[in-house]
């Protein structure tokens, strides 16, 4: 490990308390509303076309949106795409897609299940979609360690940058 300095140059967030760094921070400081806090109003259209959004589970849509915001926040990146990695943490993957397709299978039959079920529900769909969307061809990894997955992904990305394996990373979870 050569001990290169690791810095955060851009941030993007998609959370129930806010989408984007400013809204997220405001949401963290605000009095939380009573009851369950789910992200019910997320619109993927600024980041994904209609067909692409239909073929992408919400958790992967969140990853693409957060990555796009982070890249915009960071400004122009002068790095070799082969040395840019995507390391995303996910507790489980596309459960929303799995739930919907189970209902479709039971109500309409197995022939109506989406052919995109498996790629949409896999835990690595977030990292894969981000990597493909932005053309980052370095390591593309998914950390699956329950609630700690995002933190582990950030630590793994920092280690990869510090050791010189990659020059830049899109990471989180």
39 domain residue, yes or no: yes
135 domain residue, yes or no: yes
6 domain residue, yes or no: no
**Residue-range definition of the domain harbouring residue 165:** 14-172
Q: Are strands 18-19 and 84-89 parallel, antiparallel or unpaired?
A: unpaired
**Beta partners for 171?**
87
40 domain residue, yes or no: yes
CA angle, 88 then 6 then 125, to 5°: 10
26 domain residue, yes or no: yes
7 domain residue, yes or no: no
Output the pLDDT for position 2: 62
CB burial of residue 153 (10 Å; 0-12, 13-18, 19+): buried
For residue 76, what is the domain's CATH number? Answer: 3.40.47.10
The parts of the chain modelled with pLDDT lower than 50 are none
3 domain residue, yes or no: no
Output the pLDDT for position 35: 79
Q: Is the dihedral of CA 22, 170, 152, 60 positive or negative?
A: positive
30 domain residue, yes or no: yes
The count of structural domains within the chain is 1
Q: In this structure, what are the phi and psi dihedrals at residue 101, rounded to the nearest 5 degrees? A: -75, -30
């Amino acid at each position: 490990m050569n001990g290169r300095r690791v810095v955060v140059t851009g941030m993007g967030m998609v959370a129930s308390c806010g989408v984007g760094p400013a809204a997220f921070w405001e949401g963290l400081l605000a009095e939380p509303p009573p009851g369950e806090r789910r992200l019910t109003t997320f619109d993927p259209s600024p980041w994904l076309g209609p067909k692409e959004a239909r073929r992408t589970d919400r958790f992967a849509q969140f990853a693409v949106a957060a990555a796009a915001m982070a890249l915009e926040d960071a400004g122009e990146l002068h790095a070799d795409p082969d040395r840019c990695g995507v390391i995303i943490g996910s507790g489980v993957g596309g459960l929303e897609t799995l739930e919907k397709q189970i209902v479709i299978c039971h109500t309409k039959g197995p022939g109506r299940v989406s052919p995109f079920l498996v790629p949409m529900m896999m835990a690595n769909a977030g990292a894969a979609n981000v990597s493909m969307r932005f053309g980052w061809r370095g390591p593309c990894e998914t950390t699956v360690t329950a609630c700690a997955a995002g933190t582990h992904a950030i630590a793994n990305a920092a280690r990869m940058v510090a050791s010189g394996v990659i020059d830049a990373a899109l990471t989180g979870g």
